[in-house]
Structure 1
Amino acid sequence: MSKKTGIVDLSRRSLLRGAAAMSVAAIAGQAAAQTAVDELINAPRRGNWDDQFDAQASRTTAAVVSNTAMLSPTSLMNIQQAIGQYQMIVSNGGWPQVNPSVKLQLGVMDPSVQALRQRLMVAGDLPQEAGMSNSFDSYVDGAVKRFQARHGLPEDGVIGEFTLKALNIPADMRLNQLNVNFQRLQDTLAKPLENRYIVVNIPAAYVEAVESDQVALRNTAIVGRISRPSPLVSSKVSDIILNPYWTAPRSIVEKDIVPLMQKDPTYLTRNAIRLIDGNGNEVAPESVDWFAPKAPNLTFRQDPGKINAMSSTKINFPSPDGVYMHDTPTQGLFNKLMRFESSGCVRIQNVRDVVVWVLKNTPGWNRQQIERVIASRVNTPIKVADEIGVHWVYLTAWSPKQGVVQFRDDIYQLDGDAQLALQTNIGQEQASGSIDDDILPQ
């Protein structure tokens, strides 16, 4: 062995000894730190901390998320299993009502927290080892957030109006809801679905783009209000239109546009809506009698652009109701809890992501090309190369993940009990004050 080699070997041994010493020191340091934390938590004079404190409880909402499609056969099996579990819950007396005298949130001490703990335990949101106490601790906070995630509510851990109403739906009513939706899901899956499809769950107001039973995209949506409900649909995407024209349906012309023109004769011009006669000629709005007994027999067509009711994109498919999916210029509506505001069509948040997914097998239409065409403001129809199914369904209860049941409000009151439509009345009061500002610009 050469002197040089011996020096290298010695250096390696020194390095390894140093690394080992550092590792031991690090482990010892971690152990000492953990011991200090344990001592602090277990100290007899540590203050009024609840003994069920759990730093990971607030992350339990992730446990309800699944990449399995809502319309998967797995979901059908899971909801059947959930029916058995809820039958047992009902036979055991259900769960207690929660009637707090104060606002329940993290840090509160109140006798009603015991009923809340029991309610959450029965449904599986709170682990049994959390125990019973008057303290709204991090276990309860995490369980409430998990409950909210399963009910499509803001995951803030606070027992607000809608969370309390959802908590107090009786167990037998939830069991009936599961049975009704099991039948709906079974009917939907009676025929095989496409390998790639888009599903709109109307009560949940969200969209899944599905490939091989796995969710590729999940997007927030806005669906039809109760006076103009979104219909059930089973179809296939025919084409994508970038920078679409919007042609107002006859119902919107009669109910909305004519009254607006009676109040403001500049409405059509301000919103780039042109009048076209049967020969394709443009008609001046001032030549029309807007107070006539019948609305004019003309086509009302809005030019492409930022203020267009469909904004950048329209996803077309054959439908007897003439509905479609589209972009919107009023993106702020997606932040609302109650997203039942359209005239039947479905608006999709981040719809360009869905379009890229739809067109991924259509030659020449990558994201860059799609964005270039949208920026040009030129009306461009694109024929879709492969088969993409479209399914609009009405599921107020489903279970894509074993042991996790999702519930939503029965916004169209089809489940058989008005109590399940928690948000509908408030939503309609808010929506009735104005015309749909996405389908019809103001």
Structure 2
Amino acid sequence: MGVALAALVTSSGAALAMDDMWSLQFGPRDGAGSAVSERQRLKELERNPAPGYPTLSPANVAATQRGIARYTRIVEAGGWGTIPEALVKPGEQHSAVAALRSRLIVSGELRADAAGGETLDGTVVEALKAYQATNGLTPNGRLDKPTLAALNVSAEDRLKQLKVNLKRITELAAVVKSQSKYVVVNIPAAQVEAVALNKVISRHTGVVGKPDRATPILRSSITEMNFNPIWRLPPTVIQKDLIPQGREMQARGENVLIKTGIEAYSNGKKVDPATINWSGAAVKSYAYRQPPGKDNPLGFVKINFANSDSVYMHDSPSEGLFGSNFRAASSGCIRVHNVERLAYWLLGQNSGWDQERVEKMKETGERLDVKLAAPVPLHFVYISAWATEDGTVHFRRDLYNRDGVAQIATSY
């Protein structure tokens, strides 16, 4: 979930949600410069993915089996070589480009007759973009650090991922086959799909749990929506984030509750923040909550479903991470980009609810809880390799190291 003991400031002085602040150095970053317009275009691609095919489509079972057969042939033929460490932009020359050409020919993004030298030319750039798109990477056409790491995951490990995930897809596809409408959160992809009649109605960029605060795999049903909700801090956030930050700020003569607008309660009574000793034992017994407002980390809507892990889906007041490629930065809950569209789709069966009314709830800040007319099935899944009916094979980071593959497949 999005943790925002907001209050702390960036170098520019702007308020920044805690989750975003703590994740600024979390995961690889491409330091290469580019035009502002190009960076913005790539950020928009991250924020607004194309609908594509449902990850759990029953057709993906046979497609993934075909993908396994294809990768078995690749492995039997010797797999692919390692690309030397290099950072190469389109148009630049580097000896690593020759190895890149060979690598993309083996995996099928580049034609076998695509001869060429050591320049990252247009043909290779387009092939590299295609590779990046099917591997959950920003399609910038550069040989950057995340792309290099993904390319250097061995063919044997990619085959293993496909085999492990075939079991997951087969089980889940059988479940959703009978569901005319459902929502999927694919954790390794950090994306949310709204699916009806085996078609993706909308696909949303998400922010998922950090590896040390993993989003759980679960199956439930969405039953309720809280507009402009109160954020009740879960135990993990209190213990790992709020209390340590409270101690640090108290040592500097500051108060984390005053700074963030979070309130502490003891036996139902509000505690004066000035009286709290963050190094004492009492702080662990308090309940903490943040009222609705522009700094509330749940944003304007929280989507509820029964589960034993105290997780939920929600909006976010901070858009920053939605435009990033690496989005494992929450404490387990799922932040959803363009959540208005998902909320409208979920509430579509409710009399009196339309897109305009959902958007008005965001504008007015009105506090309201709404039950769905009918529960919508929800699946939090861990699918890091699969194929779709068009023959495309997809791979994602083994984010939580659950596929039994080399570390390089988890850390790019």
TM-score by length of 1: 0.76
Q: Which residue of 2 aligns with 1:160?
A: 144
CA distance in structure 1 between the partners assigned to 2:271 and 2:76 by the alignment: 68
Q: Which residue of 1 aligns with 2:294?
A: 306
Q: Does 1:201 align with 2:186?
A: yes
CA distance in structure 1 between the partners assigned to 2:408 and 2:170 by the alignment: 21
- Offset from partner CA, 1:87-115 (integer Å, 9 cap, x none): 11111111222226x64443345554333
Contact 2:185 2:380 (8 Å CA) reproduced: yes
Correspondence 1:207-356 to 2 at 5 A:
207-262=192-247, 263-264=249-250, 266-278=255-267, 280-356=268-344
- Worse-superposed segment, 397-406 or 132-141: 132-141
Contact 2:232 2:290 (8 Å CA) reproduced: yes
Q: Which runs of 5+ in 1 are unaligned?
A: 1-60, 425-442
CA distance in structure 1 between the partners assigned to 2:231 and 2:213 by the alignment: 18
Contact 1:165 1:422 (8 Å CA) reproduced: no
Of residues 372, 378, 382, the one that matches 1:390 is 378
CA distance in structure 1 between the partners assigned to 2:129 and 2:369 by the alignment: 43
Contact 2:182 2:194 (8 Å CA) reproduced: yes
Contact 2:51 2:201 (8 Å CA) reproduced: no
Match of 2:283, SS state, is: coil
Q: Which runs of 5+ in 2 are unaligned?
A: 1-44
- Offset from partner CA, 1:310-335 (integer Å, 9 cap, x none): 01110000011010000111211212
The alpha-carbon distance between structure 1 residues 295 and 89, as it changes in their structure 2 partners (threshold 3 A), is same
TM-score by length of 2: 0.82
Q: Which residue of 2 aligns with 1:381?
A: 369
Match of 2:374, SS state, is: coil
CA distance in structure 1 between the partners assigned to 2:272 and 2:218 by the alignment: 37
Higher RCO (CA < 8 A, seq sep 6+): 2
Of residues 60, 64, 77, the one that matches 1:75 is 60
CA distance in structure 1 between the partners assigned to 2:243 and 2:100 by the alignment: 52
CA distance in structure 1 between the partners assigned to 2:67 and 2:51 by the alignment: 16
- Worse-superposed segment, 214-223 or 394-403: 394-403
CA distance in structure 2 between the partners assigned to 1:74 and 1:383 by the alignment: 33
Of residues 87, 103, 116, the one that matches 1:119 is 103
Q: Which runs of 4+ in 1 moved over 6 A?
A: none
> Over the residues paired in the alignment, what is the CA RMSD in angstroms?
2.2
Q: Report the CA distance between 1:80 and its aligned residue.
A: 0.8
Match of 1:93, SS state, is: coil
The structure with the larger Rg is: 1
Q: Does 1:137 align with 2:121?
A: yes
Q: Report the CA distance between 1:129 and its aligned residue.
A: 3.9
CA distance in structure 1 between the partners assigned to 2:241 and 2:96 by the alignment: 49
CA distance in structure 1 between the partners assigned to 2:258 and 2:244 by the alignment: 15
Q: Which residue of 1 aligns with 2:5?
A: none
CA distance in structure 2 between the partners assigned to 1:316 and 1:227 by the alignment: 23
Q: Report the CA distance between 1:253 and its aligned residue.
A: 2.0
Quick one: percent identity of the two aligned structures?
36
Q: Report the CA distance between 1:173 and its aligned residue.
A: 1.2
CA distance in structure 2 between the partners assigned to 1:333 and 1:112 by the alignment: 31
Contact 2:153 2:409 (8 Å CA) reproduced: no
- Offset from partner CA, 1:329-365 (integer Å, 9 cap, x none): 1211212222111010010111111111111111111
Match of 1:97, SS state, is: coil
Contact 2:165 2:386 (8 Å CA) reproduced: yes
Bigger fraction of residues in helix? 1
CA distance in structure 1 between the partners assigned to 2:88 and 2:330 by the alignment: 34
Contact 1:241 1:314 (8 Å CA) reproduced: yes
Q: Which residue of 1 aligns with 2:72?
A: 87
